[in-house]
Structure 1
């Protein structure tokens, strides 16, 4: 077993390692999918942790993640710490843990503090009348611009991976699912719009984001909106096309 803990949680190490040892039989399931499982555990009644268990990689990738490339758990932990260092929000990273054998990586876990959010960005994509909708989206656009200015490309920038919490009168945006991120000296306009296009095809959101982002980047609203709208529609088309193809190929799997 290989693990690394955030120093401020070092005194919880034994208890948290015990949670991992009993992961299959204990904890409360938050998400259980084909690829990953997420559970929460209560630690001494004063801390709730979120444990993301990554599935065992395919045989070749076991070797890659053990000897050549960092695991998804380690990358999640390091990227979370990098975001916080740069002044952005993500649930407090606690640790990553890896179990390996001679052939390669087996199970791996990323542990963070459970966040009591107010809403997920996804809720805004399906409800244009959510309270304070306009202001939340505008603040999100400003947050995204700052993220891009720091050269941070959050690859899995989908509507389910941004949690929102109102704190001290403003909306803070917490990024999750952090194992895939790129870091650039400078992000081009095209790359910025491609990154934002994964969020939604909701036209009202796209218009508000374009209004705010165009002012910050110094471009005309029409240009930002046109590029973002086209990229969002293209992303949604390709996403649904891939999903439909998988359903046809793996038709025997349970839905």
Structure 2
């Protein structure tokens, strides 16, 4: 929107307003404005020290729906700073107009007005156009994590966000508070994302050209598992980032992570808001499937994974080895002379694995027909849900009917560990349907890789616990594992 900016001086308020909206702000409309913004119950977008609400303004038969951010009272030091540099509302207004004039997404600024008593800021408001149905990057991620979104979906969203951040930086705006909650967008009925809208602009700075360090500082506050943050950065830079960026990013990231962990001690009595979408899962419990490669995605870089490796697991393994060292040594001595001494008949020992859901199963069957007498391994994945499990059951029955020997692998996700009842139901359903048809069942898939949801011996024990009853129920089945 092209419109000039005019000064606003009405009663106790001083500020600025876009010319096109000046008629909405006179002494009558601003009388009691602060009380209205602080007390309204409907249309509350954010609650806390600063309050954001939606208000309907009416004047001369015209109406205007605005988002109002009412800034809370602050200390004398911040008042002194704002008196010289401009209030948060003023800085937000100027930053919003700067971004809008350069084609970067942000809700259209409309006005700001402050009430000063000497050098003390008593009231301060920033008004922008209210954009319907915005969802924050934070809430969209939480929703994707809980709905077990596919890796391709997440990477596409990261690409969308990275492009918007790059555009913002390239016009010369350094946000300085670029958390996930400060990037919003609309989602169409087809699931397509609209233009990213940057909000909470009051800390921003305008530069001729942003340095790598300044760009890194913005990225350091984005909350993502480290491997996916690395994807976001690489998309932003269209390749490997500069060394200066990486160095600053590591330093800033450590500071931000400490700041996050220390929140409970810094603000012991402050309530943390919880929206309908819920909250972030713990980073070590984020589990994402990649349909392109038909495997779990790596979510954490090595340095981050190491934080969640319990030291106790090493002691448990060491103690187990020491406890049975005598037996292990005697068995080793017995087996050693037999190694590579006997011929092994490999007839019937070769098999092929088929992919049940992520690849064209009928095409796989066509290729399988050329391999007579070859056994088949079919995977059942806990994360896929009942419809895919039923589809897999039907495929096993089809393979057995065609004369194939079938082995199945029961593949876990992180939810199998955190929700043991769900894992037990999964095992029971599949084996009740095809228990008498398969020759073997593999449990604990790739437990040496953290991305498959197993973080230590205790997690592996949790996955194996339901087998006690299942072995009694299906004595003809050979249970194998873990597969590494």
Indicate the TM-score class for this superposition, using the shorter chain for normalisation: 0.7 to 0.9
Q: In 2 relative to 1, CA 65–26 (structure 1 residues): closer, same or farther, beyond 3 Å? A: same
1:3-152, aligned counterparts within 5 Å?
3-14=15-26, 17-18=30-31, 20-23=33-36, 24-26=38-40, 28=42, 29-33=44-48, 35-44=49-58, 46-66=63-83, 68-126=84-142, 127-128=144-145, 129=149, 132-152=153-173
Q: Which moved more, 1:177-186 or 1:73-82?
A: 177-186
Q: In 2 relative to 1, CA 123–228 (structure 1 residues): closer, same or farther, beyond 3 Å? A: farther
The match for 1:246 is 266
TM-score, normalising length from structure 1?
Answer: 0.82
Cα deviation for residue 233 of structure 1 reads 4.6
SS of equivalent residue, structure 1 residue 88: coil
Kept after mapping to 1: 8 A contact 2:52/2:67: yes
Q: Where do 5+ consecutive residues of structure 1 fail to align?
A: none
SS of equivalent residue, structure 2 residue 15: strand
CA distance in 2, matches of 1:206, 1:124: 16
SS of equivalent residue, structure 2 residue 25: helix
Q: Which moved more, 1:222-231 or 1:131-140?
A: 222-231
Kept after mapping to 1: 8 A contact 2:219/2:249: no
- Deviant stretches of 4+, over 6 Å: 221-226
1:180-191, aligned counterparts within 5 Å?
180-191=203-214
Kept after mapping to 1: 8 A contact 2:113/2:126: yes
CA distance in 1, matches of 2:215, 2:133: 26
TM-score, normalising length from structure 2?
Answer: 0.45
Kept after mapping to 2: 8 A contact 1:152/1:184: yes
Cα deviation for residue 222 of structure 1 reads 10
Kept after mapping to 2: 8 A contact 1:65/1:104: no
Kept after mapping to 1: 8 A contact 2:180/2:222: yes
CA distance in 1, matches of 2:155, 2:200: 26
Kept after mapping to 2: 8 A contact 1:36/1:55: yes
Q: Say which structure, 1 or 2, has more relative contact order (CA 8 Å, 6+ apart).
A: 1
Kept after mapping to 1: 8 A contact 2:221/2:253: no
CA distance in 2, matches of 1:159, 1:101: 35
Structure having the higher Rg? 2
Cα deviation for residue 204 of structure 1 reads 5.1
